[in-house]
């Protein structure tokens, strides 16, 4: 097969693996088409299986004939391999380099991976748009499912089925699409059952410098307003950035043309800035110096926490407009595939208790990220250790997960899932045996035939055996809207991701186990008491005739 020529040395003995907070392992290093494997061939020590796709960058060093390769992974782990023999080391390094930067998607591991478990529920079929539309239909008849994008020609990054106002015909949709960046005309993102308000998302309108307008676009979004009501347009960019976009043909909705809408500008950073922020943050976390000042100033300079705050604040604003103001909302930035999705998906977590269940959260990711055309392939091509020229990678999805984690920390009993699910999603978005996060949009995934050729992440996660790991023992369904605090004091560094490999989790794991134990023991007792009571009550009724005087 085609990988053989990339693997110059498939096997080296006597390789020593160093990982922080773990004992060193000496063993045999093997390279396969998709994995770097290190095995001591003893049962007692764990083997290392590392997907080449997980490797972000490598560094080589030589001391005499002993070579060292530092492997930096997309999940932020850094490991060190000591390889005897200069030639072996060079060969291994160049093989890893080649295998971890394969260009062709169809050579990726998901196309070769065969699950060792039985697929009970095919994750590719778990969350189809028709199903979520059925839910919507049960609440309102104001919307319809349009097939206008059936062949992805109107908007390549949209799915084939889109939820639009009932009164807007496909022809108008086509016109509105031509007025929006990338053809991303306003579509339904979320319907707030409580007050029938909606959240829509789109890309920026193409007003350009001469203030172009589009009647169909105006009609389309006005169709979502109740009579006499006003709506809010949340532009995730600052007014300055939005102004600048005009020069490149983009822009924002002019009040004159959208008199029923009030526009609010926020300041979520663009993706290239976010990538830089991630790199700086991870650098700060890996800094070995013991200076407190240096840590805090580096953390501050990375701006990561500011980004978290800004995104969360914008999502809260959207949620408040809907729930408190009783207004409908349209969210967009520039392309409508990044900050827009962060805001719409987080707002749903705040508003909709269903999104706080495992199933609902998966559906949310499927709907608001995968179907909505977040370019995962591009954004997750590299992570914090990339030293090449940045192309379009950016931790947009990771920031979303971080924000979810912040809400989870503030409402530890309101989520059915725990932090592990979020970390797992981060890992799989960057490197995975599953096909879920391959491709940039629905159209691409169709072309790649992912649903036939690869296994869905959801097929695996939703197995009862796996789910257990992701369940939050403190969960009690909470039907309220949950409003997180976005004060800097309330937003924490997500240690589970950023300090994950720099700390021992023994004490934290112990605490988690203890928490699980406390709750399980309580449930066990409850069951015991209940069944005893039932028994007693039964005995009681049997006895009662005797008892009556």
Partner 1 sequence: MEHIRMPKVENVRLVDRSSSRRIKVGTLYLTATHTIFVGKGSEDRCELWVLHSLVCNVVKHKASQSGYPLLIHCKNFQVMQFIISQESDCHNVYISLSRLSRPEKYEELYCFSFNPNVDKAEREHSWDFLDLKAEYSRMGLPNKLWHVTPINREYRVCDTYPADLFVPQSVTLPVIIGSSKFRSRGRFPTLSYYCKENHATICRSSQPLSGFSARCLEDEQMLQAIMKSNPGSRFMYVVDTRPKLNAMANRAAGKGYENEDNYCNIKFQFIGIENIHVMRNSQQKLIEVSALRSPSMGEFLMGLENSDWLRHIKSIMEAGIFISKAVAEEGVNVLVHCSDGWDRTAQVCSVASVLLDPYYRTLKGLMVLIEKDWVSFGHKFSHRCGHLDGEAKEVSPVIDQFLDCLWQLMEQFPCYFEYNEKFLINIHNHIYSCHYGNFICNSQKERKDLCIKEKTHSIWPHLWENKLDFMNPLFKPDQSQNQGLLRPRTAPYCFKYWRRLYNRFDRELHPRQSELDCLMTVKEETQQLEEDLALCEQVEHQIFNYHPHKSKQALWSLPLDTSLANTPQDYIGGFIGGAPNVFTLQQGERESAELCLFGDKPKSSDADNSDQESGVADFSSHSSGEESLPSEDSVKDPDSDETGPNRA
Site for partner 1 in 435-474 (CB under 8 A): 474
Closest CA to 232 of 256, 197, 263: 263
Q: Within 13 A of 187's CA, how many CA atoms are on the CB side?
A: 34
Spatial separation of the C-alpha atoms in residues 454 and 457, rounded to whole Å: 9
Query: Among 119, 139, 196, 240, which residue interacts with partner 1 (rule: CB under 8 A)?
Result: 240
User: What angle do helix axes 339-351 and 304-323 make, rounded to 10 degrees?
Assistant: 60
Q: Of the two residues 125 and 209, which places its CB atom closer to partner 1 in the complex?
A: 209
d(C-alpha 355, C-alpha 370), whole Å: 16
Among 300, 388, 449, 469, binds partner 1 (CB under 8 A): 300
CA 467 to chain CA centroid, Å, is: 18
DSSP label at residue 455: -
Cβ proximity to partner 1: between 64 and 545 the closer is 545
The single residue among 107, 222, 499, 505 that binds partner 1, judged by CB under 8 A, is 499
10 Å CB burial of residue 269 (0-12, 13-18, 19+) is buried
Task: Mark residues 242-281: x for contact with partner 1 by CB under 8 A, - for none.
Answer: -x-----------x------xxxxxx--------------
Site string for partner 1, 523-542 (x = CB under 8 A): --xx-xxx-xx-xx--xx--
C-beta of residue 497 within 8 angstroms of C-beta of residue 427: no
- For 345, the token pair is 């998906």
Q: Pick out residues in 352-411 that bind partner 1 (CB under 8 A).
A: 409-411
Phi, psi (degrees; rounded to nearest 5) at 72: -110, 125
Is residue 291 part of the contact set for partner 1 (CB under 8 A)?
A: yes
Please identify, using beta-carbon distances, which residue of 227 and 480 lies nearer to partner 1: 480
Piece of 79-87, 115-123, 273-281, 300-308 that binds partner 1 (CB under 8 A): 300-308
Smallest separation (angstroms) from partner 1 to the CB of 116 = 35
Return the axis-axis angle of helices 339-351 and 358-365, rounded to nearest 10°. Answer: 160
What is the distance between the alpha carbons of residues 53 and 99, in angstroms, rounded to a whole number? 8
Least distance from partner 1 to the Cβ atom of residue 259, Å:
14
Residue 309 interacts with partner 1 (CB under 8 A): yes or no: yes
Rounded to whole angstroms, the Cα distance separating 365 from 483 reads 21
Nearest distance from residue 404's CB to partner 1, in Å?
15
Q: By CB under 8 A, how many residues form the interface with partner 1? A: 88
Stretch that binds partner 1, among 43-51, 128-136, 381-389, 510-518 (CB under 8 A): 510-518
Beta strands per DSSP E along 305-390: 328-332
Q: Is the Cβ of residue 169 or residue 509 nearer to partner 1 in the bound state?
A: 509
Taking the least distance from each CB to partner 1, the nearer of 39 and 313 is 313
Q: Which of 51, 161, 206, 285 is close enough to bind partner 1 by CB under 8 A?
A: 285
Residue of 24, 153, 387, 478 that binds partner 1 (CB under 8 A): 478
Contact call for residue 236 and partner 1 (CB under 8 A): no
Residue 502 DSSP class: G
Task: Name which of 85, 76, 73 is nearest 16 in CA terms.
Answer: 85
Are the C-beta atoms of residues 99 and 442 closer than 8 Å to each other? no
| Contact call for residue 480 and partner 1 (CB under 8 A) | yes
Determine the straight-line distance between the first and last CA of the chain, rounded to whole angstroms.
Answer: 90
Which is closer to partner 1, CB of 88 or CB of 310? Answer: 310
Task: Give the largest CA-CA distance in the chain.
Answer: 100
Where in 322-351 is the site for partner 1 (CB under 8 A)?
323-325
Q: Which is nearer to partner 1, 124 or 415 (CB)?
A: 415
């Amino acid at each position: 097969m085609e990988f053989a020529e990339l693997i110059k040395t498939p096997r080296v003995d006597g390789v020593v693996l160093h990982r922080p907070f773990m004992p060193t392992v000496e063993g045999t290093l093997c390279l396969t088409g998709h994995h770097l494997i290190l095995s001591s061939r003893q049962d007692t020590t764990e083997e290392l299986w590392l997907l080449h796709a997980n490797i972000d960058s490598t560094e080589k060093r030589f001391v005499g004939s002993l070579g060292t390769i530092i492997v930096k992974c997309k999940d932020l782990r850094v490991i060190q391999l000591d390889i005897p023999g200069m030639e072996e080391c060079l060969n291994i390094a160049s093989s890893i380099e080649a295998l971890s930067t394969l260009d062709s998607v169809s050579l990726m591991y998901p196309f070769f991976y065969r699950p060792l478990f039985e697929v009970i529920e095919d994750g590719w079929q778990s969350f189809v748009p028709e199903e979520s539309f059925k839910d919507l239909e049960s609440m309102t008849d104001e919307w319809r499912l349009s097939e206008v994008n059936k062949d992805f020609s109107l908007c390549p990054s949209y799915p084939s089925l889109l939820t639009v106002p009932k009164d807007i015909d496909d022809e108008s949709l086509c016109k509105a699409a031509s007025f929006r960046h990338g053809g991303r005309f306003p579509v339904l993102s979320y319907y707030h059952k409580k007050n029938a308000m909606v959240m829509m998302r789109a890309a920026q309108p193409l007003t350009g410098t001469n203030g172009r307008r589009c009647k169909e676009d105006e009609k389309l979004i006005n169709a979502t307003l109740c009579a006499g009501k006003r709506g809010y347009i949340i532009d995730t960019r600052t007014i300055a950035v939005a102004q600048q976009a005009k020069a490149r043909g983009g822009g924002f909705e002019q009040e004159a043309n959208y008199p029923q809408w009030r526009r609010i500008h926020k300041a979520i950073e663009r993706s290239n800035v976010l990538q830089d922020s991630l790199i700086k943050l991870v650098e700060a976390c890996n800094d070995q110096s013991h200076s407190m000042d240096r840590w805090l100033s580096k953390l501050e300079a990375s701006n990561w926490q500011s980004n978290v705050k800004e995104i969360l604040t914008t999502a809260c604003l959207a949620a408040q407009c809907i729930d408190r103001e009783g207004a409908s909302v349209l969210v967009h930035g520039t392309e409508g595939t990044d900050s827009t999705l962060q805001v719409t998906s987080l707002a749903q977590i705040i508003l909709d208790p269903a999104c706080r269940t495992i199933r609902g959260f998966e559906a949310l990711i499927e709907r608001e990220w995968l179907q909505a055309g977040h370019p995962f392939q591009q954004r997750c091509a590299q992570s914090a250790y990339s030293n090449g020229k940045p192309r379009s990678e950016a931790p947009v999805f990771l920031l979303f997960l971080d924000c979810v984690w912040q809400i989870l920390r503030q409402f530890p009993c309101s989520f059915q899932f725990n932090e592990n699910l979020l970390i797992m999603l981060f890992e799989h978005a960057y490197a995975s045996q599953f096909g879920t996060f391959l491709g940039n949009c629905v159209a691409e995934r169709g072309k790649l035939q992912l649903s036939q050729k690869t296994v869905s992440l959801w097929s695996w996660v939703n197995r009862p055996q796996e789910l257990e790991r992701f369940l939050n023992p403190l969960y009690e369904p909470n039907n309220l809207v949950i409003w997180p605090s976005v004060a800097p004091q309330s937003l924490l560094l997500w240690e589970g991701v950023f300090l994950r490999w720099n700390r021992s989790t023994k004490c934290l794991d112990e605490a988690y186990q203890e928490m699980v134990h406390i709750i399980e023991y309580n449930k066990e007792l409850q069951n015991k008491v209940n069944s005893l009571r039932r028994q007693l009550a039964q005995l009681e009724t049997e006895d009662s005739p005797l008892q009556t005087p």
